[in-house]
């Protein structure tokens, strides 16, 4: 018998807290959106915005304001400094949004200015340059990656739980046609990805792919919440952040599938009871597994946040937030939505006509 932190017969009423959970999610999203609007959009890193990153390590702590004052005389446009990596390592990241000069010219200009303006030894540890066109292409492909991941997940969930591969294919075809029309209109990629997600949710609703709808909404919730929290923390949105978001989607989907599987098994049994009780029972039965999986994952990710260094800090932090939010959403968001709309009636009838199946312990 496997390790269990919580007994399977635990009876925690999760669904009674779904309104409070919705309010918490709504408040975080609202705060994040206000933060994004206040700063004029997402704060893109060099990967997406283009420009030059210069990582510098000093032999002592330097005030960021003092460092910015020293660098004002470099003539480099919009150069700004920020602390980078772990405290105590005295590392700073200098960012030049526009690559007006070549990397070696930038290196020489910064070295000359730091030597003249600061009484401290320093080392330029790395210098990265990304052209604005490359940054724009990377940004567009990142948005497309997130969109296609959600699309493929919705198709998989539709076939996996509702045995409607044909309808899932129709949904995919309709979505691709809608995206093609929007591309002909010339809609920017960011708005195109948002419109595609709305079309996906709308078609899941219209075609009554309720399990897929619950999973997709939970995934979108995880992405939005993670991005909002990173915005509130003042973090940049870069390629490593997109990699973390895609990882979070897979992690959250795994939890959602396990809970949906148990809900479906209970619904196939005799006298399953009201749907709210079924969802609560399935979550309680899987709670020990969920906590063990999430807990061990969090330990690894937390170690990366603390010890991983500045280069992967944003990636590890996004994963840390996403694992917590993904575990929460598989319980409250996906389950609550399924309670609100119910499982697909046709699926229930098909399963009943096939006869009861023996549930695995």
Percent of the chain exceeding pLDDT 70 equals 87
Per the CB < 8 A criterion, the answer to whether 158 and 211 are in contact is: yes
**pLDDT tens sequence across 40-51:** 878 887 777 777
What's the average model confidence in pLDDT over 330-338? 85
- Quote the pLDDT of residue 156: 79
Q: Provide CB contacts within 8 A for 146, sequence distance 6+.
A: 193, 223, 242, 245, 246, 249
Q: Provide CB contacts within 8 A for 237, sequence distance 6+.
A: 42, 43, 44, 45, 48, 227, 230
| Secondary structure letter of residue 360 according to DSSP | P
What's the average model confidence in pLDDT over 272-278? 84
Q: Boundaries of CATH 1.20.1640.10 in the chain? A: 15-42+134-163+211-347
**pLDDT tens sequence across 289-302:** 888 888 888 999 99
- Quote the pLDDT of residue 235: 84
Q: Which residues pair with 133 in a beta bridge?
A: none
Q: Hey, CA dihedral for 164, 170, 171, 173, is it positive or negative? A: positive
What's the average model confidence in pLDDT over 11-34? 89
Q: Boundaries of CATH 3.30.70.3220 in the chain? A: 51-130
Q: Name the H helices within 126-274.
A: 132-162, 165-185, 189-206, 210-232, 239-268
**CA–CA gap between residue 67 and residue 83 (Å, rounded):** 10
- Quote the pLDDT of residue 350: 41
CATH superfamily for 15-42+134-163+211-347 is: Multidrug efflux transporter AcrB transmembrane domain (1.20.1640.10)
- Quote the pLDDT of residue 320: 93
Angle at which helices 132-162 and 189-206 cross, to 10°: 10
Q: Provide CB contacts within 8 A for 274, sequence distance 6+.
A: none
pLDDT higher than threshold 50 for residue 348: no
**pLDDT tens sequence across 90-143:** 888 888 876 556 777 888 888 888 888 787 888 888 888 877 677 777 777 777
What's the average model confidence in pLDDT over 241-264? 86
Q: Provide CB contacts within 8 A for 28, sequence distance 6+.
A: 225, 228, 229
Q: Which helix (H) or strand (E) holds 95?
A: strand 91-96
* Joined tokens for residue 67: 């460092």
pLDDT higher than threshold 80 for residue 337: yes
CA Rg, the chain, in Å? 24
- Quote the pLDDT of residue 346: 45
Residue bearing the bigger pLDDT, 314 or 168? 314
pLDDT higher than threshold 80 for residue 282: yes
What's the average model confidence in pLDDT over 279-289? 86
- Quote the pLDDT of residue 82: 80
Distances (CA, A) of 166 to 169, 208, 209: 5, 13, 12
Domain range 51-130, its CATH number among 3.50.50.100, 3.50.50.60, 3.30.70.20, 3.30.70.3220: 3.30.70.3220
- Quote the pLDDT of residue 354: 40
What's the average model confidence in pLDDT over 142-166? 75
pLDDT higher than threshold 80 for residue 324: yes
């Amino acid at each position: 018998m496997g390790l269990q932190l919580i007994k399977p017969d635990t009876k925690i009423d999760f669904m009674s807290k779904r309104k409070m959970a919705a309010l918490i999610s709504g408040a975080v999203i609202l705060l994040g959106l206000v933060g994004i609007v206040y700063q004029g959009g997402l704060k893109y890193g060099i990967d997406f915005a283009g420009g030059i990153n210069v990582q510098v390590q000093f032999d002592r702590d330097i005030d960021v304001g003092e460092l910015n004052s020293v660098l004002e005389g470099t003539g480099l446009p919009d150069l700004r400094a920020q602390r980078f990596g772990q405290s105590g390592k005295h590392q700073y990241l200098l960012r030049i949004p526009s690559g007006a000069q070549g990397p070696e010219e930038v290196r020489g200009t910064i070295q000359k200015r730091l030597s003249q303006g600061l009484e401290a030894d320093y080392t330029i540890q790395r210098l990265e340059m990304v052209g604005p066109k490359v940054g724009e292409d990377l940004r567009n492909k990142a948005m497309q990656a997130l969109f296609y991941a959600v699309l493929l997940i919705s198709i998989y969930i539709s076939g996996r739980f509702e045995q409607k591969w044909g309808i899932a294919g129709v949904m995919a075809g309709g979505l691709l046609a809608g995206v093609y029309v929007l591309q002909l209109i010339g809609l920017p990629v960011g708005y195109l990805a948002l419109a595609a997600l709305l079309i996906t949710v709308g078609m899941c609703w219209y075609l009554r792919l309720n399990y897929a709808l619950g999973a997709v909404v939970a995934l979108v919730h995880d992405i939005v919440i993670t991005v909002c929290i990173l915005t509130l923390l003042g973090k940049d949105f870069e390629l490593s952040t997109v990699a973390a978001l895609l990882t979070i989607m897979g992690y959250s989907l795994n939890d959602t599938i396990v809970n949906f599987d148990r809900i479906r098994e209970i619904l196939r049994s005799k006298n399953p009871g009201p749907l709210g009780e079924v969802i609560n029972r399935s979550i309680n039965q899987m709670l020990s597994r969920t906590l063990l999986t999430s807990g061990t994952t969090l330990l690894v990710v937390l170690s990366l946040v603390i010890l991983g260094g500045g280069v992967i800090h944003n990636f590890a932090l996004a994963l840390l937030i996403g694992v917590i939010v993904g575990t929460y959403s598989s319980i409250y968001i996906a389950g609550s939505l399924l309670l609100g709309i119910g499982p697909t009636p046709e699926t229930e009838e098909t399963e009943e006509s096939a006869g009861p199946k023996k549930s695995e312990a």
